[in-house]
Amino acid sequence: MSPAGGPAELVLLNPGPANTSERVRRALDRGDMCHREPEFSRLLESIRAGLVETLVSPHSHEAVVITGSGTAAVEMAVLSSVRPGRAVLVLENGAYGERIGRMCAAQGLKTYQVVEEWARPIDPARVTDALAAHPDIDAVAGVMHETTSGLVNPMEEIGAIVAATDAVLVVDAISATGHETPELARIQADLVCGTANKGLHGLPGAAFVLIGRSKGLSRVERTPVRSGYLDLAGHLRAQRGGEVLYTPAVQVYQAFDEAIREFRELGGYRARVADYRARAALLRSGFARLGLEILVAPPHRSNSVTTVRLPAGVAYRALHDELKERGFVVYAGQGRLSGDYFRVCNMGELALPTLSRFVSELEEVLTLW
Ligand SMILES: Cc1ncc(COP(=O)(O)O)c(C=O)c1O
C-alpha cells in the first residue's frame, strides 16, 4: 500500500498526471537547490531550450516556464494576448474551451464565441466569419485537444486563418504537447500552452507558454499586465536573464528537464505519436470487441483520450472502483458527459501488455452487472 492508502503501483489511465518513468522520478532526488544560483539558471535554460527544440523551433518560439498547473499557463497566455478595449474570440466545444470563456469573464474581457457540440470539431469557416464580423477581435483562443471528449480540433486550419489577420492565436495544447497531430510546429500559433505532467511524462507543478516570434512576442510586450503572478512579459524578461520572478518548484523542474531528455532520447515527437497511436488502437479495438461505443468519430479522435459510453446498467463509480481494485484508474466523463460516459487515457509511462491486461480486466468487470 502507498502512504495514501491505495495500491502502490496504480496504472493511471486518467489524462494526467500520468505514470512517469523511474528515471524521471529519480530526478526529484537530486538534492536541494537555491533558485537564485547559477545551477538553477542552467536548469531553467535547459528546460526552456528543450521545449522549443522538441516541440516547435528556437527560430519560431521562445519558452516561459512557470510553477503552476496547466490552467495557470492558459490564463497567463489569454491575459497577455488582448489589449484594452479589444476582444477575445473563444472557441468552445468542451469544458476547457468553456474554461477559457470563464477566465475572460473573470477579467471583464469582451468575448465572442464560436460554440460547437462537444463531440464535433470547431468549423474553421466560423472562425473566418467571426473575425470578419468583429474587427475588434485581438485574440482567438481555443483548445487543440479537448480532453473532455478526446477530440482534436483543426488548429492548423484555424492557425492559417488567424495568421492572415492582426489577431493572435492562443492554443491550449495542455493535453496535446508531444503526441497529437499535427505537430505543433505546423500550427501558426502565437501562444501555445502546455504542462509537464501529461504527454511529456513529467510531474505536476510546472507549466509553460511557447511565445511565437512573429506576432506573439510583440503582443505580449504591448499588453498591459493584468495579474501579479501570471505576468507573462515579466516572466519572459526574468527568464531571458536566467532568473525567475517567484520561487519555482525546483525539484519538479529537475524531473521535467529529465522528462524532456527522455522524450528526445526515445525519438521525440514522431516516436511518441507512433507509440500513443499503437496504444489507442489497442484500447479501441478492445472496446469494439466488448461492444463499447466511442463518443468521437474516427477522423477527429486524439491519440491519447478515448471517451466511452457506459453500458446500460453500469454506474461509473462502481466501474471505477472495481477497476481500481485491479490496479487501474479510469476517469469520469466531464460535465454534461458525466452521466453517460467515462474516459480511458493512454498517456505516460505505459506498456502495451499493460493495456491488454486492462482490456481483459474491463471485460471481466463488465460481467459483474
Ligand atoms: C485541454 C486542457 N486544458 C487545460 C487543462 C487544465 O490543466 P490543469 O488541471 O493542469 O490546470 C487540462 C487538464 O486536464 C486540459 O486537458
Domain that holds residue 306: 11-19+269-366
Of the residues 201, 232, 265, the one at which a domain ends = 265
Q: Which of 98, 122, 143, 195 to mutate to test the pocket of ligand 1 (most atoms within 8 A of CB)?
A: 195
Q: Shortest CA distance to 366 belongs to which of 354, 281, 340, 358?
A: 358
* Ligand 1 binding pocket includes 248 (Cβ within 6 Å): no
Q: Per the structure block, which three cell numbers stand in for 48? A: 526552456
**3 is a domain residue:** no
Distance 111 CA to ligand 1 centre (A): 21
Cell match 469582451: residue? 110
- Gap from CA of 159 to ligand 1 centroid (Å): 21
- 99 inside domain: yes
Helices within the chain (DSSP H only)? 22-26, 38-55, 70-79, 95-106, 124-133, 155-163, 216-222, 232-240, 250-265, 268-289, 316-325, 352-366
**DSSP-based three-state secondary structure for 172:** strand
CATH number for position 300: 3.90.1150.10
Final residue before a domain boundary, out of 265, 291, 322? 265
End-to-end, the C-alpha distance of the chain in Å comes to 28
Same domain, 339 and 252: no
Q: What average pLDDT score do residues 162-172 get?
A: 98
Element (H, E) at 345: strand 341-345
Q: What is the dihedral of CA 57, 125, 144, 213, to 10 degrees?
A: 30
**What single letter denotes the amino acid at residue 204?**
P
- Three cell numbers at 211? 511565445
From ligand 1's centre to the CA of 357, what distance in Å?
28
Residue with cell 500552452: 193
pLDDT in tens, 59-104: 999 999 999 999 999 999 999 999 999 999 999 999 999 999 999 9
Using the predicted structure, report yes or no on whether residue 5 has a pLDDT greater than 90.
Answer: no
Q: How many domains does the chain have?
A: 2
Judged by phi (left if over 0) then psi (alpha if -120 to 50, else beta), residue 348 lies in left
Is the predicted pLDDT of residue 4 greater than 90, yes or no?
no
For residues 93 and 116, the answer to whether their CB atoms sit within 8 Å is yes
Same domain? For 121 and 103 the reply is yes
Residue 160, judged by CB atoms within 10 A of its CB (0-12, 13-18, 19+), counts as middle
Alpha carbon 8 to chain centroid distance?
26
CATH, residue 178: 3.40.640.10
Digit-coded pLDDT (tens) for 205-261: 999 999 999 999 999 999 999 999 999 999 999 999 999 999 999 999 999 999 999
Compute the distance between CA of residue 225 and CA of residue 101 in angstroms, rounded to an integer. 19
If one residue of 175, 192, 307, 347 were mutated to test the ligand 1 pocket, choosing by the most ligand atoms within 8 A of its CB, it would be 175
158 within some domain = yes
Residue 109 shares a structural domain with residue 241: yes
Do 71 and 217 reside in the same domain of the chain? Answer: yes
Q: How far apart are CA 335 and CA 63, in angstroms?
A: 32
Query: Which residues lie closer than 8 Å to 223 by C-beta, 6 or more apart?
Result: 79, 80, 81, 82, 83, 233
Is the same domain home to 233 and 273?
A: no
285 shares a domain with 235: no
pTM check: above 0.95: yes
Domain final position from 265, 294, 321: 265
Identify whether residues 230 and 334 lie together within a single domain: no
Please report the atom of ligand 1 found closest to the CA of residue 197. 10
149 lines ligand 1 (CB under 6 A): no
Q: How confident is the model at residue 1 (pLDDT cuts 50, 70, 90)?
A: very low
CA distance readout (Å), 183 to 171, 176, 179, 256: 13, 9, 8, 20
pLDDT for 9: 86
**Do residues 278 and 261 both lie within one domain?**
no
Q: Does residue 301 belong to any structural domain of this protein?
A: yes
Please report where in the chains the cell 522524450 appears, as a residue.
263
Are residues 287 and 255 located together in one domain of the fold?
Answer: no
Q: What's the grid cell of residue 364?
A: 471481466
Q: Is residue 46 part of a domain?
A: yes
Per-residue pLDDT band at 8 (split at 50, 70, 90): low
| pLDDT score recorded for residue 246 | 98
pLDDT tens, residue by residue, 276-294:
999 999 999 999 999 999 9
Burial of 80 (0-12, 13-18, 19+ CB in 10 A): buried
Average pLDDT across the chain, whole number: 97
Alpha carbon distance 301, 289 (integer Å): 18
Length of the chain: 369
Q: Are residues 208 and 240 in the same domain?
A: yes
- Look at residue 5 and tell me if it is in a domain: no
Distance CA 40, CA 256 (A): 13
In angstroms, the CA 42 to CA 33 distance is 12
The average pLDDT across 298-312 equals: 97
Distance 364 CA to ligand 1 centre (A): 32
Indicate whether 274 and 257 sit together in one domain.
Answer: no
The reply to whether 1 falls in a domain is no
Nearest CA to 333 out of 204, 142, 150 is that of 150
- In this structure, the answer to whether residues 162 and 232 fall within a common structural domain is yes
74 ligand 1 Cβ < 6 A:
yes
The answer as to whether 40 is a domain residue is yes
What sign does the dihedral 356-358-361-362 (CA atoms) show? negative
